Structure 1
Amino acid sequence: MSFYVYILTNPARTVLYTRVTNNLERRLHEHSQGLGEAGKFTGCYQCNLLIYFEISADAKQAITREKQIKNWARVKKEFLINTLNPSWKPIDLQTWSG
């Protein structure tokens, strides 16, 4: 099973939301529809654009990485995002080539 650490942003790119999941497609759907716990913060701040993700084979490793990223200053998070997605265009998992 894979685990994903992901970062979402809003259309203005002012909010960065970092979380972990074992099903990224399902979780993105929950965020976009404002469903459950996943939709509370992201719905309030219109934060549903996937701009970064990492894949991990281990849940503990993914959670550790999530906590690490959450504790970073915004400038460090921006640097991380720029390594994968320098244009900050929303990532469509169906067409993403990495």
Structure 2
Amino acid sequence: MKTFFVYALKSLSRNYIYVGLTNNPERRLEEHNKGYNRTTKPYAPFVRIYLEELKTRTEARAREKYLKSGIGKEYLKSLL
């Protein structure tokens, strides 16, 4: 059974938090830091500030959507 992860990255160079969904968080962080993602490339490098494991892609997508909302972003900022 595949596991999914919701993660949040904080840019070290700018005031930017990115929230995403993956099945391999280590690989995904490396991709962001190497500039493979056009959306996050201008904000690299990143450190991971949040990681949550979920059982299904549906659950992970719902959690990702919440963390991208205003209240979700406030929660992530409170972790810093």
Q: Normalized against structure 2, the TM-score is what?
A: 0.83
- What is the aligned residue count? 78
Q: Which has the higher contact order (CA 8 A, sep 6+)?
A: 2
Richer in strand (by share): 2
Counterpart CA distance in 1 for 2:61 and 2:34 is 24
CA RMSD of aligned residues (A): 1.7
1:17 partnered with 2:21: no
Q: Normalized against structure 1, the TM-score is what?
A: 0.69
SS of the equivalent of 2:40 reads: helix
1:62 to 60, 63, 67: 60
Structure 1 segments (4+ residues) deviating >6 Å: none
Contact 1:8–1:47 at 8 Å: present in 2 too? Answer: no
Mark the runs of 5 or more structure 2 residues left unpaired by the alignment. Answer: none
